[in-house]
Amino acid sequence: MELEVREQDGIQIIAGKGRLDMAGSVELKDLFMRLVHAQADRFIIDLGGLNYIDSSGVGTLIFIASTVRKLSLQFVLTETPEQVMWVIEKVRLKGYLPFTENMEEALDKLNGELLPEL
């Protein structure tokens, strides 16, 4: 799995490309924890480049969500491909993991610019 990190508006954006399998999960978790240790507190994980996710990839997303909640950080997943969302829905995690449709919406959400849902 290829991972790229960039910063925008103080938000760490992690973009993955390829397979979020056991090997990719280790890489993503390591990268995320390095950023946490460097005091990053807001994250967007762009899943748009993924073409596959397995149970270890799902586990990594759960680990990230749990860590974010425990440390009072913020994160959102975005640009989720249909086949990846299918897996997440099958394991009933869509309500547990925070999603946005696109990068603009993710940035707005983490910058507090989205209007509350009615």
Residue 114 structure tokens: 């989205």
Q: What is the pLDDT of residue 85?
A: 95
Q: What is the CA radius of gyration of the chain?
A: 13
Q: What whole-number distance in Å separates Cα of residue 108 and Cα of residue 110?
A: 6
Residue 1 structure tokens: 């799995």
Q: What is the pLDDT of residue 117?
A: 46
Domain ranges of the chain: 2-110
Q: Any idea what DSSP says for residue 81?
A: -
Given 3.40.50.720, 3.40.50.2300, 3.30.750.24, 3.90.320.10, which CATH number is that of 2-110?
3.30.750.24
Note down pLDDT in tens along the chain; length 118 residues. 999 999 999 999 999 999 999 999 999 999 999 999 999 999 999 999 999 999 999 999 999 999 999 999 999 999 999 999 999 999 999 889 999 999 999 999 999 875 444 3
